[in-house]
Amino acid sequence: MSVEGKVVAITGASGGIGEATAFLLAGGGAKLVLGARRDDRLAILTDRIAGSGGTAVHRVTDVRRRGDLADLVDLARERFGKLDVLVSNAGIGPISPLDALRVDEWEDMVDVNIKGVLYGVAAALPIFRAQGFGHFITVASTAGLKTVANQSVYSATKFAVRAFCEGLRQEAGDKLRVTIITPGFVRTDFIDAVPDPALRAELAVARNKIAIPPVAIARAIAFAIQEPSNVDVSEIVVRPTAQA
């Protein structure tokens, strides 16, 4: 079992889980197609992968724009002739109490966390069907398993993603694979987008105390990819042992 030669597109690749996954897979011989909104960080990541002997290309990708996902999939085919795996990793979580009525941020979470996944599937599904193989991997969250205060909208987007991916799995047939990766608290800059200073500080304390490194999630993604083509790893939950 190996990722060598697999062509893997990753959204949200410029940091955190996406960046860790890119490095891990590139080290195993996969060919990476990296998408994110931050062109400068994508370019640095691509150069670092190339400098360590790996293969990667990148394209600025805003998952809120359907055309950007189509362009990312097209880049994979243009450069490598196929696409084996689409890792839908891009996500945001500007969590807040509902009473704060941060409706614009609610809409952003819906656009990125839900629509971004749908647009990726819309871009890759016809390609996977034509190839006769393909693997959708979607990064969800333990917030999609359990809702807590201040995370209602974020949690709702992750519940929606899990429901969609299960439906996709049931429709995929015997040639395509569908995997949900469900991380708990991961040590990234994810909480920097939390608008309330007190809540952000509280989360920072928890992150510093119990969060696991992004590579823990990257290893779960690699495991799912490495399984034989007739093995569908439906979901992997990875969280800190100290997380409730």
The residues annotated as belonging to the active site are 154
**Residue in 22, 19, 15 with CA at minimum distance from that of residue 225:** 22
Q: Which residues are within 8 A (CB) of 61 and not within 5 positions of it... i.e. 6 or more apart?
A: 11, 35, 36, 37, 68, 69, 71, 72, 90
- Range list of H helices, the chain: 16-27, 39-51, 66-80, 103-109, 116-131, 152-172, 197-210, 214-226
Cβ-based burial of 89 (10 A; exposed 0-12, middle 13-18, buried ≥19) = buried
In the block, tokens 């409730």 appear at: 244
